[in-house]
């Protein structure tokens, strides 16, 4: 294969092959190979998930009430979202209703994750794709201060403050030990910010590093720790005791005050630091609108943050649910995770085996059997891969499809779908309109690397506000006298039906996340996860359709062929999470011995 067309993209692998492995500043392990034409424009892209942990086999036969802890360990970055998905799946299977307080606390925890995860992503995983650290040394602290004060009322903005940071940075660079900034692409023409903006951004990189650890304290109070807080099937584990004996050992006024303090601080930081920084940086890159990929034509969201407790229908979700295909923004299709025709996974180009690989399988029937073989045109050997052969199997990710379409998932689909329903999500529409107006770009500019990054910032603000609202509702409910946090009527397995199956879903910060569980005789009989990065990082399917990562790289010119800065920029805009890209269970009746264990 040298050239073909799919989904409106032209693929051509005749040019120079460039390999980026590892792709750093992501969660997990990812490899990307691209072909460049003579103008250093990407004409072919191959995205490879390079890890598999086999959790699928591990969960079988375990107690469903424990599953949240196992699946939570799928990812420590979007920590908690797998656990929440898991308890929802079990509750769906067993028809367990959770109390109002548990519902609100879970929403607060999930929204809290969004705020933390998006903030850390923007500053610590993504910023260095836009911000030149070394250039910040040349900045005039006074002008930096003026810039900062012109865009925000954040108090840490004096010339002296920026000078201190700059001096520290200078000393650091002069030491010759550059640490995590070593071998960066400093000075590349792909960086567009003036030194003052760079200094401001680097300063906030450090400030955000200090601040992010505060945000997660909400998880610590309700879940005991972060990363990996504790959850509970049937509610939340933290009991509430406002005034009785032993109140100091439970969630009490002091705890709630701390939650409120953190939530308010987080909202302020997002409003006064994150969003202004985002818009300031974007204003210098609005001419660089590559990286849209599939977003303008195929987007998927499962939705999240139920408004009323125990209602997971699309109409009740404060983050929208739906699918857009063929670029038709005026039609949002309903999504049904139990419909065997909708979500299906293919393995033609993945290191797994199906009896018939031309067909996809719904997660309830999914098979996860590792099968590591390389395509016949692979360069190198099994344990020394120089270049992969994308006509064969080439990734540890499966290829999920929605009604046969490769989809993009994540903050951009969520924000676009919210924008398209202004009567239900007015705040999202207003914020996006404000950003577009300030940057003076059209709505279609959102379908880009920059648009994805901007959508994430806008979503952070939305979630930070929603978190405050949920907290207010929690207080109102407590005031009304309801202290319940757990429904234990179906805690004992003896109260369960002999067989049950259910689906749990959330929107992880990175996108649509679903868990499918089958329970038999009180034990897990089948558990399958389809996770955001499996959607976005998907390899090709039997029709040769490419995934979101691959599509987003096509047509992007590189400033320098040997510096993958633009590739990183676009990939990071998805916030990849590769440890997530593991499937969690093999199907009913499958021979476990067929999993290769040597």
Partner 1 sequence: MTETFYDVLRRQGITRRSFLKFCSLTATSLGLGSAAAPRIAHALETKPRTPVLWLHGLECTCCSESFIRSAHPLTKDVVLSMLSLDYDDTLMAAAGHQAEAILEEVKKKYKGQYIVAVEGNPPLNEDGMFCIQGGRPFVEKLKETCADAKAIISWGSCASYGCVQAAKPNPTRATPVHKVITGKPIINVPGCPPIAEVMTGVVTYMLTFDRIPELDRQGRPKMFYGQRIHDKCYRRGHFDAGQFAEAWDDEGARKGYCLYKMGCKGPTTYNACSSMRWNGGVSWPVQSGHGCIGCSEDGFWDKGSFYDRVTQIKQFGVESNADQIGGTVAAVTGAAIAAHAAVTALARARNKNATNGE
Number of Cα atoms under 13 Å in the Cβ half of residue 553: 31
Only one of the segments 60-68, 292-300, 469-477, 549-557 lies at the binding site for partner 1 (rule: CB under 8 A); that segment is 60-68
53 counts as binding partner 1 under rule CB under 8 A: yes
Q: Which is nearer to partner 1, 251 or 432 (CB)?
A: 251
553 counts as binding partner 1 under rule CB under 8 A: no
173 counts as binding partner 1 under rule CB under 8 A: no
- Sheet bearing 523-530, strands edge to edge: 499-508, 511-520, 523-530
Instruction: Look at phi and psi of residue 58 and say left if phi exceeds 0, alpha if psi is from -120 to 50, else beta.
Output: alpha
Distance CA 299, CA 280 (A): 27
181 counts as binding partner 1 under rule CB under 8 A: yes
The residue among 13, 38, 190 whose CA lies nearest residue 570 is 190
16 counts as binding partner 1 under rule CB under 8 A: no
Q: Which is nearer to partner 1, 435 or 580 (CB)?
A: 580
175 counts as binding partner 1 under rule CB under 8 A: yes
Instruction: Find the shortest distance in angstroms from Cβ 411 to partner 1.
Output: 19
SS3 126: helix
x/- string (CB under 8 A) for partner 1, residues 192-231? --------------x--xx-xxx-xx-xxxxxxxxxxxxx
Only one of the segments 171-179, 286-294, 424-432, 450-458 lies at the binding site for partner 1 (rule: CB under 8 A); that segment is 171-179
x/- string (CB under 8 A) for partner 1, residues 567-586? -x----------x-------
Q: Which of 2, 155, 245, 480 binds partner 1 (CB under 8 A)?
A: 245
488 counts as binding partner 1 under rule CB under 8 A: yes
Other residues' Cβ atoms within 10 Å of the Cβ of residue 313 = 11
Only one of the segments 179-187, 311-319, 322-330, 433-441 lies at the binding site for partner 1 (rule: CB under 8 A); that segment is 179-187
Per rule CB under 8 A, count of chain residues that contact partner 1:
118
The H-or-E segment that residue 265 falls in is helix 253-269
Taking CA 490 as the corner, what is the angle to CA 91 and CA 316, rounded to the nearest 5 degrees?
Answer: 30
394 counts as binding partner 1 under rule CB under 8 A: no
Q: Which of 11, 13, 31, 321 binds partner 1 (CB under 8 A)?
A: 31
Distance CA 419, CA 424 (A): 9
Give every CB contact of residue 96 below 8 A, 6+ residues apart in sequence. Answer: 90, 233, 234, 487, 489, 490
Provide the angle, in degrees to the nearest 10, between the axes of the packed helices 100-120 and 195-215. Answer: 150
Residues 356-385 that bind partner 1 (CB under 8 A): 370, 372, 380, 382-385
128 counts as binding partner 1 under rule CB under 8 A: yes
Residue pair 367/344 in contact (Cβ under 8 Å)? The answer is no
Instruction: Find the shortest distance in angstroms from Cβ 272 to partner 1.
Output: 20
Q: Which is nearer to partner 1, 117 or 324 (CB)?
A: 117
Chain centroid to Cα 489, Å, comes to 34
Instruction: Find the shortest distance in angstroms from Cβ 33 to partner 1.
Output: 10
Distance CA 185, CA 567 (A): 12
Distance CA 364, CA 475 (A): 39
Only one of the segments 67-75, 144-152, 191-199, 510-518 lies at the binding site for partner 1 (rule: CB under 8 A); that segment is 67-75
């Amino acid at each position: 294969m040298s050239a073909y067309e799919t989904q409106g993209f032209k693929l051509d692998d005749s040019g120079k092959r460039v390999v980026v492995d590892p792709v750093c500043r992501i969660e997990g392990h990812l490899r990307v190979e691209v072909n460049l034409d003579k103008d250093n424009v990407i004409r072919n892209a191959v995205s490879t998930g390079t890890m598999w942990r086999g959790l699928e086999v591990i969960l079988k036969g375990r107690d469903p009430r424990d599953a949240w802890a196992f699946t939570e360990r799928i990812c420590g970055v979007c920590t908690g979202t797998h656990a929440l998905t898991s308890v929802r799946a079990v509750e769906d299977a067993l028809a367990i209703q959770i109390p109002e307080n548990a519902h609100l606390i879970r929403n607060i925890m999930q929204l809290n994750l969004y705020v933390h995860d998006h903030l850390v992503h923007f500053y610590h995983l993504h910023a260095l794709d836009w911000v030149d650290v070394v250039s910040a040394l040349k900045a005039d602290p006074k002008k930096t201060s003026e810039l900062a004060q012109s865009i925000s009322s954040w108090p840490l903005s004096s010339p002296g403050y920026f000078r201190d940071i700059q001096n520290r940075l200078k000393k650091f660079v002069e030491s010759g030990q550059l640490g995590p900034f070593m071998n960066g692409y400093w000075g590349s023409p792909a960086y567009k910010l003036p030194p003052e903006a760079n200094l401001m951004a680097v300063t906030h990189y450090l400030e955000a590093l200090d601040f992010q650890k505060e945000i997660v304290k909400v998880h610590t109070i309700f879940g005991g720790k972060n990363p990996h807080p504790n959850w509970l099937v049937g509610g939340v584990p933290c009991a509430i005791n406002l005034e009785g004996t032993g109140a100091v050992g439970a969630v009490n006024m002091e705890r709630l005050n701390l939650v409120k303090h953190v939530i308010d601080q987080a909202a302020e930081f997002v409003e006064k630091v994150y969003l202004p920084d985002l818009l300031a940086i974007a204003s210098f890159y609005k001419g660089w609108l590559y990286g849209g990929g599939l977003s303008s034509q195929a987007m998927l969201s499962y939705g999240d943050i139920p408004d009323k407790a125990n209602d997971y229908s699309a109409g009740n979700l404060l983050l929208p649910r739906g699918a857009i295909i063929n670029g038709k923004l005026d039609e949002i299709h309903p999504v049904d995770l139990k419909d065997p025709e909708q979500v299906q996974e293919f393995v033609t180009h993945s290191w797994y085996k199906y009896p018939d690989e031309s067909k996809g399988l719904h997660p309830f029937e999914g098979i996860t059997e590792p099968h590591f073989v390389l395509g016949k045109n692979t360069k190198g050997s099994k344990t020394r891969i120089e270049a992969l052969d994308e006509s064969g199997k080439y990734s540890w990710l499966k290829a999920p499809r929605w009604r046969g379409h490769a989809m993009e998932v994540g903050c951009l689909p969520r924000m676009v779908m919210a924008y398209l329903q202004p009567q239900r999500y007015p705040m999202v529409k207003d914020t996006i309109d404000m950003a577009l107006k300030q940057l003076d770009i059209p709505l279609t500019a959102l379908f880009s690397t920059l648009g994805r990054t901007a959508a994430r910032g806008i979503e952070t603000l939305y979630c930070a506000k929603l978190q405050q609202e949920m907290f207010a509702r929690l207080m109102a409910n407590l005031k009304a006298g309801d202290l319940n946090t757990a429904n234990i009527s179906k805690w004992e397995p003896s109260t369960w039906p002999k067989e049950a199956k259910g689906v749990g879903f959330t929107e992880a910060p990175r996108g649509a996340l679903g868990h499918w569980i089958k329970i038999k005789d009180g034990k897990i009989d089948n558990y399958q996860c389809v996770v955001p990065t499996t959607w976005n990082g998907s390899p090709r399917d039997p029709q040769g359709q490419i995934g979101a990562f691959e599509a987003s790289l096509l047509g992007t010119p590189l400033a320098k062929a040997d510096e993958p800065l633009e590739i990183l920029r676009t990939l990071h805009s998805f916030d990849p999470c590769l440890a997530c890209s593991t499937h969690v269970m093999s199907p009913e009746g499958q021979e476990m011995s067929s999993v290769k264990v040597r």
